[in-house]
A and B are shown apart, each in its own frame.
Chain A
Amino acid sequence: MNAAETVLAVERLDVEIPLATGVLHPVRDVSFSVKRGETLCLVGESGCGKSLTALSIMDLLPSRAQRRADRLEFAGANLLGARERRMADIRGNQLAMVFQEPMTSLNPAYTIGNQMTEVLLRHRRVSAGEARERAIYLLEKVGITAAESRLRQYPHQLSGGLRQRIMIAMGLMCGPELIICDEPTTALDVTIQAQILSLLAGLQREFHMGMILITHDLGIVARVAQRVAVMYAGQIVETGCVDEVFAAPLHPYTQGLLQCIPIPGKTPRGEHLGSIPGMVPSLMGTLRGCGFRERCPYAFADCAQDVPLVELGPGRGYRCRLTPEQTGANAAGAQVWT
């Protein structure tokens, strides 16, 4: 098996949600891919469509929402048009997801052991005893001591950090090929955050999984990811290796983020932080052109037309009408974001 094999390929994913007041387009023309053993971070501010992208891959969107894509392939299988039965066989099995609210994501009526073993029992022909052993093994892997007694405990008896580790362990029960983590540390203390992140990175290496980490925190991106996709207003505006993107961001939004948000270990000391003026545009109705143009200091007339994705190489691209030379000059030049 090729170690760098692509485990997920998404091309031109769209999500539409009809509401009473109109049609919402929270995800537009999203394309990216993830390889085994690689962590892709999907980064962007709240409401940019990251979580919905993840849910649409899992086919867990609300019933009113409609999903459309040119390509949605997972482990070589086409997920588009896959029936619920098929998806249910894949979810929790080869494709796992960890959510961001550890406090409410576990069923209060059942023990941890029950909830963990049920995933394995659902997807594999194992005995209850074997499932328990796997659960204990994984709990220990995520750094939980006294794992066996934890199995008998109920969610409300455990702290948020513990619950999040359990959620991660639960996601690993069937040895998934891809795990999606939606803001796994947002609801946790800063000290716990660091632990969970290290844990995730280690597990991913050890189990050689693909991982999509959704976050709004660029610091996390710097720490954990190999590749990054920046989302804004439902679209991916820039993708590439983390080092490349951080060193030479091509899209004005990415540039703004990097200048305006301090990143531990990357932002030089004493540098003045700016801010990006304006607000995220509405995602209702038919949208044309670049979503960022209202706030972009370099916007010009053509930005009102739909902007195609410019590919500079495999996995490196950005969505802007400016040429790389122009944006490179902008980034290196005087502080535009004040």
Chain B
Amino acid sequence: MLAYAVKRLLLALLVAIAVSVLSFMLLRISGDVATAIAGESATSADIEQVREMYGLNRPLIVQYGDWALGALRGDFGESFYFKTPVTSVIRTHIAVTVILGACGLGFALVLSIPLGVLAALRPNTWLDRLALTISVLGQALPTFWFALMMIIFFGVMLRWLPITGSSTWKHFVMPSVALGYYATPAIMRLTRTGMLDVMSSDYIRTARAKGLRTGAVLFKHALRNAIIPVVSLSAVQLGFMLGGSVVIETIFALHGLGFLAWESITRSDVAVVQAIVLILACFYIVLTLLADLLNAYLDPRIRVA
């Protein structure tokens, strides 16, 4: 078990390094950074000056090495726009994204797991079909449109929820729903399939033959086994949510990493964008690593080999 964990950790580290190289190179070579920083009205002399100032005329490898070493120390350089360390800029924005991601996943789980379980208990009934229909419709909804529709309906027409900002928990309701619903179909279907499989297994028959109550059979015995793949999927979905929150954050004016990234992109603040891409990639890597370890922990067959 330990060897497995160490191996996975090393692999995760390698992926993180590879991603950092990729994002670094991608941003530097897909356009001239100096020109982007200098702005539209800059002369070639201005651009040269910018290049000098930020060391953009050095070979790419050197630039990367410089940046990477700094990143290991937690120093991602200086924001071209804010003129303050990238780390401090990110620190003020990271909490919102993490909260949003967690709430989004929370919403998805609260909706899809019960639905999946119910659908599995009553296969091919109206309930099952309803769950599958919700799932199909959910996957076709464009996130930004769904968010805007919710704003019009709940924010303006019904006036139940605030539209922008992040000061109270109410501010996170619509954004969480908008972010989380996209994961719902996959999680619901996996729960349903898992439960269907498990409910027809022999150990469930044994549990019933022991006279255990329905609740114990369902939750203690069935769901406990069916939920294992759902844990992995949830971790991956959370990773996607954290990386894909830019649209939601922009619409709801939530000042998280996605919002910061988008603003930095429009301002050509490459240093910030790079750092955010790396951080979000690391989130995903850590989450999948956690998912693997959790998987191994939940299934004694893997844990106690």
Verify B210–A106 contact, CB threshold 8 A. Answer: no
Known: A108-B300, A154-B304. A99 touches B205 (CB 8 A): yes
Can you name the residue of chain B whose Cβ is closest to the Cβ of A154? B300
Verify B209–A90 contact, CB threshold 8 A. Answer: no
Verify B212–A92 contact, CB threshold 8 A. Answer: yes
Verify B205–A88 contact, CB threshold 8 A. Answer: no
Residues of B within 8 A of A154 (CB): 300-301, 304
Verify A107–B211 contact, CB threshold 8 A. Answer: no
Does A56 count as interface, using CB distance less than 8 angstroms?
no
Does B267 count as interface, using CB distance less than 8 angstroms?
no
The number of chain A residues touching the other chain, given as a range, is 20 to 34
Verify B213–A88 contact, CB threshold 8 A. Answer: yes
Interface residues of A in 40-98 (CB under 8 A from B): 58, 60, 84, 87-93, 96-97
Residues of B within 8 A of A101 (CB): 202
Q: Which of A108, A156, A170 contacts B210 (CB 8 A)?
A: A170
Interface residues of A in 103-125 (CB under 8 A from B): 104-110, 118-119, 122-123
Residues of A within 8 A of B216 (CB): 118, 122
8 nearest A-B residue pairs (beta carbon): A92-B211, A92-B210, A91-B211, A104-B202, A107-B203, A154-B300, A105-B202, A97-B209
Residues of A within 8 A of B202 (CB): 99, 101, 104-105
Verify A96–B203 contact, CB threshold 8 A. Answer: no
Verify A60–B209 contact, CB threshold 8 A. Answer: yes
B293-305: CB near A (< 8 Å → 1, else 0) gives: 0000011110010
B57 → chain A closest CB, angstroms: 60
Verify A107–B207 contact, CB threshold 8 A. Answer: yes
Does B84 count as interface, using CB distance less than 8 angstroms?
no
Interface residues of A in 133-158 (CB under 8 A from B): 154, 156-157
B271-305: CB near A (< 8 Å → 1, else 0) gives: 00000000000000000000000000011110010
Query: Which residues from chain A sit less than 8 Å from chain B, CB to CB?
Result: 58, 60, 84, 87-93, 96-97, 99, 101, 104-110, 118-119, 122-123, 154, 156-157, 167, 170
Known: A108-B300, A109-B300. A99 touches B212 (CB 8 A): no
Does B7 count as interface, using CB distance less than 8 angstroms?
no
Docked complex Cα distance between A93 and B208 (Å)? 12
Can you name the residue of chain A whose Cβ is closest to the Cβ of B300? A154
Which of A60, A88, A157 counts the most chain B CB atoms within 10 A?
A88
Docked complex Cα distance between A118 and B221 (Å)? 11
Can you name the residue of chain A whose Cβ is closest to the Cβ of B198? A107
B80 → chain A closest CB, angstroms: 53
Q: A58-B209, A101-B202, A108-B203 are in contact. List 20 more A-B contacts (CB 8 A).
A: A87-B211, A92-B210, A92-B212, A96-B209, A97-B209, A104-B203, A105-B203, A107-B207, A108-B225, A109-B224, A109-B225, A110-B224, A118-B210, A119-B210, A122-B210, A122-B211, A154-B300, A154-B304, A156-B300, A170-B210
Verify B211–A105 contact, CB threshold 8 A. Answer: no
A106 → chain B closest CB, angstroms: 6
Q: List 27 A-B contacts (CB under 8 A).
A: A60-B208, A60-B209, A87-B211, A88-B214, A91-B209, A91-B210, A99-B202, A99-B205, A104-B201, A104-B203, A105-B203, A105-B205, A105-B206, A106-B206, A107-B221, A109-B298, A109-B299, A110-B224, A118-B210, A119-B210, A119-B211, A119-B212, A122-B210, A123-B211, A154-B300, A154-B304, A156-B301
Q: Which of B205, B206, B213, B300 contacts A122 (CB 8 A)?
A: B213
